[in-house]
Structure 1
Amino acid sequence: MADGAPDLTPEEIKGALAQLDQALHHHDLWVESIYCCLICRIQPDERDLAADAHRRCRFGQWYYGPGSERLSANPCFHALENEHRKVHEVATLLLRLSGESRTVSVADYERLTSALKQMRLEILTLAREFEETLFNTDPLTGARSRIGMLTKLREQQVLVRRKIGPCSVAMMDLDLFKDVNDSYGHVVGDQVLAAIAAFVRANIRPYDSIFRYGGEEFLICVPNTTLDTSRKLFERIREGLAGLRHKAHGHEDFQTTVSIGLTLLDPDVPVEQSIERADKALYRAKSEGRNRVSVWDVSEK
């Protein structure tokens, strides 16, 4: 999702798209009823004349209901609220004019159609964002896929170059993951990957990003964080992951560990080189015994 918005699981994104589509359908039906009232001069629903009419329609009930809580941090979601409110404000005005047998001016009518177009644009923008997020999400782990990884890192590199703040990049790899697959099967291995990615997502900030780099390897981007602060963060994540217990049918619960290589995103070299540095630090963490965080050293050039 957009920076600052919490990451949604693929299931949540699919659910949000379905809810948004249904809410839009109900709003289209509402628009037809408004036009019917204005053209045929019939009595409108009292809810459409209320000061909080935008909360009473089916779309508003969805928007302000518990089903949309996970979307509330998304900037597009808040922009949609403003446009939806405008639609109802103009519609209420036109309904009152019509009810008083006063002429609805062309300008007022155009205000309504303009507000409706803007609201639909906001809905389509939000839906497109959900669809792109779904496309860029690894279906197994819920982490972002590699598709948008370099773009994200290059965006952060620009901010580092402008001295907005440092950015840390970490490569994380499950230790001895082949043994997990060999001992418990690939289904359990997939469950372990998903559980580890979920733990990391729950323990980083909304504007941090975790990408599935490949296999059992993940890249994590942590903006506005010094190397010392990010190392403490990843030590906590490493310890937390080592304490996770995984289940396998017919076996006792088991635990796994991860190794992590860490570096700062360098503003003066291609982002691929910063990834390579994090990977070298990861390799050192593996060679020194695994289950540890290693920071890239300039001597490793």
Structure 2
Amino acid sequence: MFKLDEAKLQAVLKQLHQAIYNHERWHNDLIRTIICQQPHDHHDMAKDAHRRCRFGQWYYNDVPTEVRDHQAFLAIRTEHKHMHQLATQLLATAATKAAIAPHDYDAFANALDRLRLEIQTLSREIEESLYNHDPLTGALNRIGMLTSLRALHELVKRQVQQCCIAIMDLDHFKVINDSYGHAVGDKVLSASVRYLMDHLRPYDKVFRYGGEEFLISLPSTDLKAGHTMIERIREELGKPPLAFHGSKPIPLTVSFGLAMLDPEVNVEETIRRADKALYAAKSAGRNCSRKWDAVNSTPLA
């Protein structure tokens, strides 16, 4: 997940596509130089050739910090530098008019393939952030929710891992909208979900389930650990305030319902269980969480 608004992420994707085009042109020129035995570009023989190509100029200079720190972006660095080192070796051999050994060319070609795979991965992840996420909150949209949960459910059925899910609801959100207006309500919604995602693990997922309700998947987590994690987030969320009306802080609390993905029932039933646990949390006065006890078919504190 990239912590950038839609306009900035669109700009990054456009720049990436231009950088990919520049990389393709660089590669075509390199092959032409070697095959046609033409003079090489002196930038390609420099120790920092990976910084001098137009792709490298974009990669090292023009990328927002929010993208620069992302794992998919970082993975490109090593492959790009290594590919340029191998390209320099090919050009050095070609300059002597000697034949390039097949294993040297294969090493370059393999490094090129690995680099392009990393670039494609970054591009896909940016596109996923743009097109598969709720634009207001940054949470995943509902379209892929069941698909993701069913994939986790298959792992549960095969006893590969456990998985806890939780549904979060912002308490008295209608009152916030009615009292301060929908623009402020949107800020509260966005800030609370951002806080939630910032305090989950990288592989946990947050989906916008509907309105002010969000579904969270917690892979490799049992009910006790999931409840501990959710309670920590619930107690800290809103301290300090996430949104203000003028200089006045807007109070915010949230309620949660939790349930385990059960190998004996389908995903939809697990969601219903979490929803019933959430209803129990609301009935208990809100600003709390409740767990679904599958043995006794009842919510528990």
Give the secondary-structure state (helix, strand or coil) at the position aligned to 1:97.
Answer: helix
Matched residue, 2:122: 126
Give the secondary-structure state (helix, strand or coil) at the position aligned to 2:89.
Answer: helix
1:178 to 150, 161, 174: 174
Matched residue, 1:48: 44
Q: Amino acid of the residue matched to residue 191 of structure 1?
A: K
- Structure-2 separation of matches of 1:252 and 1:94: 65
1:279 aligns with 2:269: no
Q: Amino acid of the residue matched to residue 241 of structure 1?
A: L
- Structure-2 separation of matches of 1:73 and 1:184: 36
TM-score (norm 2): 0.83
**Structure 2 segments unaligned to the other structure (5+ residues):** none
Tell me if structure 2 keeps the 8 A contact 1:10–1:137.
Answer: no
Per the TM alignment, residue 165 of structure 1 is displaced from its structure 2 partner at its CA by 2.6
Matched residue, 1:4: none
2:287 to 268, 291, 295: 291
Give the secondary-structure state (helix, strand or coil) at the position aligned to 2:287.
Answer: coil
Matched residue, 1:195: 191
1:247 aligns with 2:244: yes
Matched residue, 1:152: 148
TM-score (norm 1): 0.83
Q: What pairs with 1:1-301 in structure 2 (closer than 5 Å)? A: 7-11=2-6, 13-35=9-31, 37-38=33-34, 41-50=37-46, 53-63=49-59, 67=63, 70=67, 73-74=70-71, 78=75, 80-81=76-77, 84-85=80-81, 87-103=83-99, 119-120=115-116, 122-245=118-241, 246-249=243-246, 252-298=248-294, 299-300=296-297
Tell me if structure 1 keeps the 8 A contact 2:192–2:238.
Answer: no
- Structure-2 separation of matches of 1:205 and 1:254: 27
Q: Amino acid of the residue matched to residue 27 of structure 2?
A: V
- Structure-2 separation of matches of 1:187 and 1:77: 36
Per the TM alignment, residue 48 of structure 1 is displaced from its structure 2 partner at its CA by 1.5
- Structure-2 separation of matches of 1:289 and 1:142: 29
183-192 or 260-269: bigger deviation: 260-269
- Structure-2 separation of matches of 1:164 and 1:52: 45
Per the TM alignment, residue 232 of structure 1 is displaced from its structure 2 partner at its CA by 1.5
Tell me: CA distance 1:266–1:120, structure 2 relative to 1, closer, same or farther (3 Å): same
Q: Amino acid of the residue matched to residue 248 of structure 1?
A: H
- Structure-1 separation of matches of 2:125 and 2:109: 24
- Structure-1 separation of matches of 2:188 and 2:114: 44
Tell me if structure 2 keeps the 8 A contact 1:261–1:282.
Answer: yes
Give the secondary-structure state (helix, strand or coil) at the position aligned to 1:199.
Answer: helix
Tell me if structure 2 keeps the 8 A contact 1:243–1:255.
Answer: no
Per the TM alignment, residue 253 of structure 1 is displaced from its structure 2 partner at its CA by 1.7
**% identical aligned pairs:** 47
Tell me: CA distance 1:253–1:118, structure 2 relative to 1, closer, same or farther (3 Å): closer
Give the secondary-structure state (helix, strand or coil) at the position aligned to 1:266.
Answer: coil
Give the secondary-structure state (helix, strand or coil) at the position aligned to 1:296.
Answer: strand
- Structure-1 separation of matches of 2:137 and 2:181: 17
> Aligned residue pairs: how many?
294
Q: Amino acid of the residue matched to residue 207 of structure 1?
A: Y
